Structure 1
């Protein structure tokens, strides 16, 4: 995973002109056209464009690409129109934000790799769709902008990182529900979308894991524990923050005096500048 991630990073860096500018604009336009054509054909256009490997092998090769433009929410009334409009605009916004942040090459490779993985799954399982790949774009967006606040349904303000957890819960629910109901195709597609996300964000996620471990080690460090105890004592007794363990001078006695803590002493001992280099280490 790490090697693939780094290779893709180098490829995108060395080929900045690779890709399709404004890719999501073309995806969205295609989805909108198919959605409205479905309204007048009772969903026939979506069926004609969907990925079905037996029909592709019979010569309908356009389905290898046309499934990209099949809306993930079919036409079924006014509510479905509103839902389609909201989700499509949201995907368009996310896709453009990712392209601005990454550049055209990286975003095209991200989306294109998801397409290739889905095509492979489609030939193995018989059919596929872009529903989970589109949803996984939100994981990428939330990783880059975790604290950005958006209005859920235009009303409820939420940070993107919390919406990403909701998205992850939906992925997990769909996966386990598909497993229990033995719908193998819908069990595989969420995993494919997650794989595509991990390929591009493996280094970032490992960095988060490392930083979390370092913070945990810092909190468990005896020096940190002793420092917190010292701070607590200061809050309880008040009056000063630093006190020299040799001469007893405090920052209240001499506000201009600098204090240091000795890393060689067994504990969290503070010394003034006169004694930081002239004291017996506590063992």
Structure 2
């Protein structure tokens, strides 16, 4: 998969848009202002297959820009988070792979709407961006309620768990949940499976190594004269003499003297 992505990046990387997540966040601010001036403008942005087929093709992309926050305070903090996500993802993946992740997420949600009636929302796209951020920098801390520091990996687990529970318990929302997370699944599940396989291999090798260990208390060397073993004194050096017996470094000189006398 990496070699395939590398070949795509070598061929199309020059067309990638740097800071794409930040650009989406800034466009959301502009749309939020327009909606304050004309609330009815919102109805022209959502994706609707029948209206697209009647010529309103802009809906294929404008649904992404509909802000999820009514309050300017939440909009501000949401945009700040998106700017941070943009910086981290661009640094970790590079602009091309970030573009591929986001545009594939948009495409999957459009296909889900077109053929399965899934309801695409910008929030679900940004949720997949947040989950990617959680995987890439799991130990990064966010201040929950602006007070409590929490590592994002736990927030990601909660987000993923809630999506899974909704998928199981809400049949009518399954297509929406599936297609809105498909880009995340394709990006990270293969790597997770490889990690699990490698972990299983390591566990098996460790088990074989442990089973091959001699029982506790087993010695490898024993002096034929004093009876000491390498367990009694690990610093002792043992040598086999011409008579076929093994002697420690203390007893061997004595034996040599006895033989010479």
Pairwise TM-score range, normalised by the shorter structure: 0.7 to 0.9
Tell me, which stretches of 5 or more residues in structure 1 are unaligned? 234-242, 258-271
The residue correspondences of 1:124-273 to structure 2 (distance < 5 A) are: 124=115, 125=117, 127-179=119-171, 183=172, 186-221=173-208, 223-224=209-210, 230=216, 244-247=219-222, 248-250=229-231, 254=235
- Higher Cα radius of gyration: 2
Aligned to 1:52: 48
Rate the CA distance shift 1:15–1:172 in 2: closer, same or farther, 3 A: same
How does 1:20-59 map onto structure 2 within 5 Å?
20-42=17-39, 44-59=40-55
- 1:114 lines up with 2:105 in the alignment: yes
SS of corresponding position for 1:158? strand
SS of residue in 1 equivalent to 2:149 = strand
**Pairing 1:71–2:58 present:** no
Instruction: Give the deviation of 1:250 after TM superposition.
Output: 4.3
CA offset at residue 225 of structure 1?
Answer: 5.7
Structure 1: how far apart are the matches of 2:129 and 2:98?
10
CA distance 1:178–1:33, change in 2 (3 Å): farther
Following superposition, the deviation at residue 52 of structure 1 comes to 1.2
Aligned counterparts of 1:86 and 1:225: Cα–Cα separation in 2: 55
TM-score (norm 1): 0.71
Distance in 1 separating the partners of 2:149 and 2:213: 38
Counterpart of 1:61 in structure 2 is 57
User: How many residue pairs were aligned?
Assistant: 235
* Other-structure match for 1:15: 12
The residue aligned with 1:82 is 73
TM-superposition CA deviations, 1:231-270 (whole Å, max 9, x none) = xx8xxxxxxxxx843221248552xx7xxxxxxxxxxxxx
Could you tell me how far 1:98 is from its partner in structure 2?
0.7
Aligned CA RMSD, in angstroms, stands at 3.1
Give the Cα–Cα distance (whole angstroms) in 1 for the partners of residues 182 and 221 of structure 2.
59
Cα distance between partner residues in 1 of 2:158 and 2:205: 31
Deviates more, 1:112-121 or 1:156-165: 156-165
Aligned residues of 2:85 and 2:129 also touching (Cα < 8 A): yes
Contact 1:150 1:157 in 2 (8 A): yes
Deviation at 1:202, TM superposition (A): 4.0
User: C-alpha distance in 2, partners of 1:161/1:126?
Assistant: 28
Worse-matched range after superposition: 80-89 or 152-161: 80-89
Judged with a 3 Å threshold, the aligned counterparts in structure 2 of structure 1 residues 45 and 96 are, in CA distance, closer, same or farther, namely: farther
Normalising by structure 2, we get a TM-score of 0.76
Cα distance in 1, alignment partners of residues 215 and 72 from structure 2: 60
